Amino acid sequence: MECLSFCIANTIDLARLDAHFKSLGKRYHSVRSRDVLKLTETGGEKLFHIFNNGTLVVWGVKRHRISPYLDMIRQFSDRPISFLVHDEFSYVLDEKIAIEPHDYFDVDCITLTDDDEEVKLAFSYGLSQSVKLQYFERKLEKLIEKYTPMIHAQSQHGKLPASRKQIRAAIADIINANAELNLISNFLYHPKYFWQHPTLEEYYIMIERYMHIQRRAHAINHRLDKLNEIFEMFNSYLENRHAMNLEITVILLISIEIISSVLNFHF
């Protein structure tokens, strides 16, 4: 059986999505809490955990059949993501709960003792954070790819082929990514769901450690800090160059005025 996780948008409006599924009658059963919507199909084994952070975790749906569900959920999302961000797992039922690499295939395998939906939700919280973090990793790679030519031009030719406006735009991009990661999303604290369900927290921690969530969040922050330092240096360089140009302009104007005064005095 498959467990799929996706990051499809910045946020998903769970209230509107819940109302939509309830309007479809008895085909779906949905239960909404503050940050997640649990959705099941009547008489089926499909289980969806849709999170307000723009992610969803799906249990029991084949990869080639997920697209219609994603298209439906995107209609209730804010700032949909243009590129695909997803992760794939398999899950089986056995004697103990665990997550480990599959013995034969290149996929991680989650082992459950039964189809307990609360345990699946605990795992889904961790998988949701991991795939959201994967989105930030992709976003950071795109930022680095975008601004690397500018950095190489400076190091190779000693000249910065960018205006102050472009440098400030780059700094704004970095600040926005940093704020989205650290202020809007929260990877350094466990979800509040586990305050009321502490017995399930061990399953979230299992996923968190296996997917290296905190280590990956710190790595992204470190790279963002370094990127920000580089462009702050570029900005300082351009400001100093602008100040120097102003000083030269002032000196030239004063020199012209002195020469003009001397010429007027003699003639």
What is the three-class DSSP state of 135? helix
Per-residue pLDDT, 168: 79
Average pLDDT over residues 48-67: 93
**Which tens digits make up the pLDDT trace of 90-122?**
888 888 999 988 777 778 899 999 888 999 999
pTM, two decimals, is 0.83
CA angle 103, 105, 109 (to 5 degrees): 65
With bands split at pLDDT 50, 70 and 90, how would you rate the model's confidence at 184? low
Q: Which of 66, 88, 116 is the last residue of a domain?
A: 116
With bands split at pLDDT 50, 70 and 90, how would you rate the model's confidence at 247? low
Per-residue pLDDT, 179: 81
Flag the least confident range among 37-46, 92-101, 248-257: 248-257
What is the three-class DSSP state of 266? helix
| Shared-domain flag, residues 110 and 170 | no
Which residues form the domain of 81?
Answer: 2-116
Domains identified in the chain, total number: 2
**Which tens digits make up the pLDDT trace of 141-167?**
998 888 888 777 766 666 666 677 777
| Shared-domain flag, residues 175 and 55 | no
Average pLDDT over the chain reads: 85
What's the one-letter identity of residue 172?
A
C-alpha to C-alpha distance for 195 and 197, rounded to whole angstroms: 6
Backbone angles phi, psi at 121, to 5 degrees: -65, -40
Per-residue pLDDT, 238: 61
| Shared-domain flag, residues 29 and 66 | yes
With bands split at pLDDT 50, 70 and 90, how would you rate the model's confidence at 11? very high
Q: Does residue 50 form part of some domain?
A: yes
With bands split at pLDDT 50, 70 and 90, how would you rate the model's confidence at 237? low
| Shared-domain flag, residues 52 and 73 | yes
With bands split at pLDDT 50, 70 and 90, how would you rate the model's confidence at 49? very high
C-alpha to C-alpha distance for 183 and 125, rounded to whole angstroms: 18
Per-residue pLDDT, 43: 72
